[in-house]
Structure 1
Amino acid sequence: MTAPAPGTFPTAEDEVAGLCQDLLRIDTSNYGDGTGPGERVAAEYVMRSLEEVGLAPTYFETTPGRANVVVRLEGRDRTRPALVLHGHLDVVPAEASDWTVDPFAGEEVDGQLWGRGAVDMKDMDAMMLAVVRQMVREGRSPARDVVVAFFADEEAGGVHGAQWAVKHKPELFEGATEAVSEVGGFSVELGGRRAYLLQTAEKGIGWLRLVADGRAGHGSQVNVDNAVTNLAAAMARIGAHPWPTVLTPTVRQLLEGVADLSGLPFDPEDDGAIDALVDALGPTAKFVGATLKNTSAPTQLEAGYKANVIPGTATGVIDTRFLPGQGDEITRVLTELAGEHVRIEPIHQDRALEVPFEGTLVDTMVAALGAEDPGALALPYMLSGGTDNKSLARLGITGYGFVPLQLPADADFAGMFHGVDERVPVSALKFGVRVLDRLLMTA
């Protein structure tokens, strides 16, 4: 491939904001129930952006409108295992009346791009596109093969995206052993220094339905086998259960790093000391605080059809998130809390992940950050939610969260996820493409 003359095409820094705006203006809301616009329009945009520079990506839909795009970049050393660089094109819904701006207008206000998906995760989608386009235009190849994927349906567990691709098109990821995606690589301020949190773990997920069966009857009669009563008691016990603190290796290493930077003591046996270290992370405490223990949150209730009729069945839903190694324990405890009159049925379940904060790829991520932000530190952390790395793990691919963003010290990055007035600084996107380019060229 002959490289064009320098200066005849826009760079990744030139393009990334525009690419992000275009993606933000495409409504890809995922309601989780099969409704919504789907990802097709965004996937077609991604296809055009890749084809424009001469690539031939693979496009596939699992059902009409649920679209995915994958392309492989050949690396300089094809004997090495491939790296997967992936993002998702769907977003959670947004209620426009709650927002300061139209959530699907992609407006730039005060140097920030506003819109649903600005941080989750059309920012990374745009960064991936911008970097790939620049590399191809310049005739540069990554250090090893890179599989670039834009998935559907991550916000509903990836059934029409990464899960489907892993099951039905595993050949697209042939030879890959590592992956990079959300949610990590963003900066926080600690003790006057900037640190970047790299995601090396994520909690497991269990969406569970609780079902209570009882004796239906007239509301005026005494009924000691009331399904609503049994369910309500079970939901209350589960929602109020005080899960104990359990520090996994990732969380322990993060808190030790926070202690070093902040000067606060680290005592793994003192919940107060642990809470103080979490609070030192500022807005990011919302992420980290939920990784100290298992959680079980009641989210839905349904029973009955008339005020004077006791129903024979009542159902509820709980959202459980469990730490690595805690899957069996949370099942045992929930079964005990539900009680003999309530059964538990799975809706959606997926594994927890945790990998060491070490190795060549981690070293390369840290070096890429350091090259653009000398003196900055990097620390591992666990994500309280989940990512498409769970699906790729089924192929033996080790996943990390690395969306490099240099953020203002007071940025409520955690609050932007699924929140109102989601936004990302344009400067952070430009920083991100510089770091991502370094990573692909050296990883």
Structure 2
Amino acid sequence: MTSSDIDIADLATREVVDLCSRLIRFDTTNRGGGDSEGERQAAEFVAGHLADAGLEPVLLEREPGRTNVVARLTGSEPGLDALLVQAHLDVVPADPTEWSVSPFSGEVRDGYVWGRGAVDMKDMVAMVLSVLHRWAREGRRPRRDIVFAFVADEEDLGYWGAHWLVDEHADLFAGCTAAISESGAYSYHVNGTRLYPVGTAERGTSHLRLTARGRAGHGSRRNDDNAVTKLVAALGRLAAHEWPVRLTPAVRAFLERTGSALGVEVDLSDVDGTLRRLGPAAALVESTVRNSTTTTVLSAGYKVNVIPGLAQAEVDTRVLPGTEEELLATVDELLGPDVQREFLARQPAVQAPVDSPWFEAMADALRAEDPEAVVVPYCLGGGTDAKAFAQLGMACYGFAPLALPEGFNYRAMAHGVDERVPVEGLGFGARVLDRFLSTC
């Protein structure tokens, strides 16, 4: 079923729903390690719509099939700083046996658009394209230059996408001092209050490989130099460590402003107590008041009666802005001399100003569509392509607006089973984006 098969009275909403549905039908699964498909076809679809809206898109590839689309729209006031609007076209895998619908059907039913990428993040792509179509029909353009980048490979390392564009095609983003993208500005219902968290920071990603070496030997014999034992002991110390609270500007502002909106006492000397009083709102911030180190992969041995000489683990480490040096020093102390670490990936934390004209323009656009909106900054616990574009000096914000029904578990949708986005939420988001991009 497509958007034409359901009753959507508003033309603009019908357009964005149709675009989102059609985008989902491109299977752009990214399995990691360079194993991806469908990005070229989706990029050509996007480029065609950009051209229809009067832009001149360019398609760029580090390798055939791993396609990125970039276009610039000239504003009416060229002296203003430019803005980047960036989104990724790839999605994570989906097992169709777990889903209620085919993951790449783009089916529209029960008031939702269903499919992999519905919220991560083909909804944003559809909203942006619909805004550009509307501007073209109405002969409108923004005040400032806006660069639009639709990229490959965000769901892995950005090697074929944003990081490559930043390294090899930075000129395309000349003049851009700020950027917007995923993971922010969606409604979050808490005790009758509608919060709209806008991402102003995100934790850094430091994926570590830990290695312990010892003396290989027979499993029946005493061995005081067992690599497995050394590694397991070190991982135990790492898991038992309680990382201290570190309040970054985004997290501090979230706690203060959310607490004020909810009428909750905020005691920054007792953050854990404050989180308990915030109730459901705590889920937006509980993972970003501290750094984290989570063991995810273990590898050792090849036969039960053989003591291996090598044992390794991989640890997903997330680092708050300004805390990496402290975290790594603590990790080294906990690991001890018998375990060595190396980086598998190392992307720094991202932090944009909480109080800025950009943030205020986003808040104004949200409140224009929802006068009761409480717009608050927050820090993303994971990572996005902002880590690449921030290297060019841009202030990167998570701003992909959606209005969500109360009880809808949006945070479970990204990478989850039966991913879907509400039809009315898409219409709301397109209107907010139109207002923000037109006036910022």
User: In the alignment, what sits opposite 1:346?
Assistant: 343
Q: How does 1:170-209 map to 2 (within 5 A)?
A: 170-209=170-209
Output the CA distance in 2 between the equivalents of 1:99 and 1:235: 36
1:19 aligned to 2:19? yes
Q: Which AA in structure 2 matches 1:53?
A: A
Query: How has the CA–CA distance of structure 1 residues 74 and 349 changed in structure 2, closer, same or farther, with 3 Å as cutoff?
Result: same
Q: How does 1:103-142 map to 2 (within 5 A)?
A: 103-142=103-142
In structure 2, which of residues 363, 366, 371 is the aligned counterpart of residue 366 of structure 1? 363
User: In the alignment, what sits opposite 2:382?
Assistant: 385
User: In the alignment, what sits opposite 2:4?
Assistant: none
1:56 aligns to what SS in structure 2? Answer: coil
Contact 1:87 1:125 in 2 (8 A): yes
Output the CA distance in 1 between the equivalents of 2:183 and 2:277: 21
Q: Which AA in structure 1 matches 2:333?
A: E
1:236 aligned to 2:239? no
In structure 2, which of residues 385, 405, 416 is the aligned counterpart of residue 408 of structure 1? 405
Query: How has the CA–CA distance of structure 1 residues 193 and 275 changed in structure 2, closer, same or farther, with 3 Å as cutoff?
Result: closer
User: In the alignment, what sits opposite 1:438?
Assistant: 435
Task: Return the offset for 1:383.
Answer: 0.6
Q: Which AA in structure 1 matches 2:53?
A: V
Output the CA distance in 1 between the equivalents of 2:191 and 2:260: 9
Q: Which AA in structure 1 matches 2:387?
A: K
Contact 2:351 2:395 in 1 (8 A): no
Greater shift, 88-97 or 233-242, is seen at: 233-242
Q: How does 1:30-429 map to 2 (within 5 A)?
A: 30-281=30-281, 285-429=282-426
User: In the alignment, what sits opposite 2:3?
Assistant: none
Q: Which AA in structure 2 matches 1:20?
A: C
1:186 aligns to what SS in structure 2? Answer: coil
Output the CA distance in 1 between the equivalents of 2:12 and 2:141: 15
Greater shift, 424-433 or 149-158, is seen at: 149-158
2:288 aligns to what SS in structure 1? Answer: coil
Q: Which AA in structure 2 matches 1:279?
A: G
User: In the alignment, what sits opposite 1:4?
Assistant: none
Contact 2:56 2:71 in 1 (8 A): yes
> TM-score when scaled to structure 1?
0.94
Deviations 1:19-40 (A, max 9, x none): 1111111111112222131511
Greater shift, 306-315 or 147-156, is seen at: 306-315
Unaligned runs of 5+ in 2: 1-9
Output the CA distance in 2 between the equivalents of 1:223 and 1:437: 68
Percent identity (aligned): 49
Q: Which AA in structure 2 matches 1:393?
A: A
2:378 aligns to what SS in structure 1? Answer: strand
Deviations 1:43-79 (A, max 9, x none): 1111122223332201011112111000000101111
Unaligned runs of 5+ in 1: 1-9
Q: Which AA in structure 1 matches 2:14?
A: D
Query: How has the CA–CA distance of structure 1 residues 287 and 93 changed in structure 2, closer, same or farther, with 3 Å as cutoff?
Result: farther
Output the CA distance in 2 between the equivalents of 1:66 and 1:117: 17
Q: How many residues align?
A: 431
Deviations 1:86-121 (A, max 9, x none): 100111111222222221111122101111111111
1:26 aligns to what SS in structure 2? Answer: coil
Deviations 1:136-186 (A, max 9, x none): 232211110000010111111211111000000011101111101111111
1:200 aligns to what SS in structure 2? Answer: strand
Structure 1 runs (4+) deviating above 3 angstroms are none
Contact 1:203 1:321 in 2 (8 A): yes
Contact 2:193 2:262 in 1 (8 A): no
What's the RMSD between the two structures over aligned residues?
1.5
Query: How has the CA–CA distance of structure 1 residues 222 and 327 changed in structure 2, closer, same or farther, with 3 Å as cutoff?
Result: same
2:104 aligns to what SS in structure 1? Answer: coil
Contact 2:90 2:152 in 1 (8 A): yes
Q: Which AA in structure 2 matches 1:105?
A: S
Q: Which AA in structure 1 matches 2:186?
A: F
Task: Return the offset for 1:272.
Answer: 4.1
Q: Which AA in structure 1 matches 2:306?
A: V
Output the CA distance in 1 between the equivalents of 2:75 and 2:432: 18
> TM-score when scaled to structure 2?
0.94
Output the CA distance in 1 between the equivalents of 2:209 and 2:137: 51
Query: How has the CA–CA distance of structure 1 residues 246 and 157 changed in structure 2, closer, same or farther, with 3 Å as cutoff?
Result: same
